Structure 1
Amino acid sequence: MAENTVSEIERMVITRVFDAPRELVWKAWTDPKYIMQWWGPKGFTAPVCEMDFRVGGKLLCCMRAPDGQEGWNAVEYHEIVLHEKIVSSMYFSDSKGNRVDPAELGIEHEAIEGAYDVTIFEDLGNGQTRLTHIGNEPMESAKNSGQLEGWNETLDKVATVVAELAQTK
């Protein structure tokens, strides 16, 4: 069986418009203090978030489920264009940031070979910003596994953080 290439597969794409300037949305997305407030879907918390935000740097976050179970994610940064774009790869990890096979955690996760996550921050004018996140997983798989729903819940939490930042600006 031939492997599908990145261009042949419909990737998971999530878009959200925020009523805030692009710099504030960027800040919420790239400052560990704010990431801890939104990392994970509804009901989940992030008690630990360490970040070296530069090309070649990493993010390491602990996501705690409502039942207290913890899981770790790491993100490696491949490209950063200030206030415009982040290209990264996210994976399941241990608490030290070492890659862990999702199957070892009992998680079914389908990733597209050679695909990176891409997050785009677009200034729409009038104080609005469109965030588009293109994942490295197929859209159908993301829908079936609940990832799409989880990402939408996560973006709801990002919206709360952005709204709070906009009020204090």
Structure 2
Amino acid sequence: MAATGRDAPEQSATADREIVISRVISAPRELVFEAFTEVRHLSRWWGPEGFTTTTRAFEFRVGGEWDFVMHGPDGTDYQEWIFWTEIAPPERISLRHGESRGDPNAFESVLTFAPDGAATRIEMRTVFPTKELRDEAVEKYHAVEGGRQTLSNLAAYVTEIVLKGVED
């Protein structure tokens, strides 16, 4: 007999519009969190492999914005805009991400930073306005692989900082 009602396994009401990516990073969560708070850090690791970032404006505070351009390895420029909606150091960052302020296709992301022994488990949970926009992000922009590469770049960057601290 199939489970129904309260006996059915819970599924998120947004599951068909979500992308969830996580990674364990060998660094303290305060450092991993800090890598998101300052543009000098973000410009060193943000984006998939081969991308670079040029920041036009950056204010890390609730209600603040990050206006930037991601430069693809093929020379394509991608206009980007992030609006910080919640900041709870060193546990959580919530944001709205689109091409510009007022973008009707902007998506919501929540990043959580949880201790995992001496390491940090970071999770990026992104919810798109529609299933179609999520599918387009996955198929056309390779959002899942790009997200994994971005977290890999973050891991390499903070590991480098940790190693430099040990050497000093």
Give the structure-2-normalised TM-score: 0.78
Q: 1:80 aligns with which of 87, 91, 100?
A: 87
- Residue of structure 2 in register with 1:136 after alignment: 127
- Residue of structure 2 in register with 1:38 after alignment: 45
Identity %: 32
- Residue of structure 2 in register with 1:71 after alignment: 78
- Residue of structure 2 in register with 1:9 after alignment: 15
* 1:43 CA drift (Å): 0.8
Question: Cα RMSD between the aligned structures?
Answer: 2.1
* 1:49 CA drift (Å): 5.5
Which one has a bigger Cα radius of gyration?
Answer: 2
Say if 2:145 is the partner of 1:154: no
SS at match of 2:99: strand
SS at match of 1:29: coil
* 1:153 CA drift (Å): 1.1
* 1:51 CA drift (Å): 1.7
* 1:78 CA drift (Å): 0.9
Cα distance change on mapping 1:8 and 1:160 into 2, 3 Å = closer
Give the structure-1-normalised TM-score: 0.78
- Residue of structure 1 in register with 2:112 after alignment: 120
- Residue of structure 1 in register with 2:160 after alignment: 164
1:47-62 superposed matches below 5 A: 47-48=54-55, 50-62=57-69
The answer as to whether partners of 2:55 and 2:66 remain within 8 angstroms in 1 is no
Count of aligned positions? 148
* 1:160 CA drift (Å): 1.2
SS at match of 1:150: helix
The 1-side partners of 2:92 and 2:64 are apart by 15
Structure 1: which 5+ residue stretches go unaligned? Answer: 1-5, 102-109
Cα distance change on mapping 1:27 and 1:158 into 2, 3 Å = same
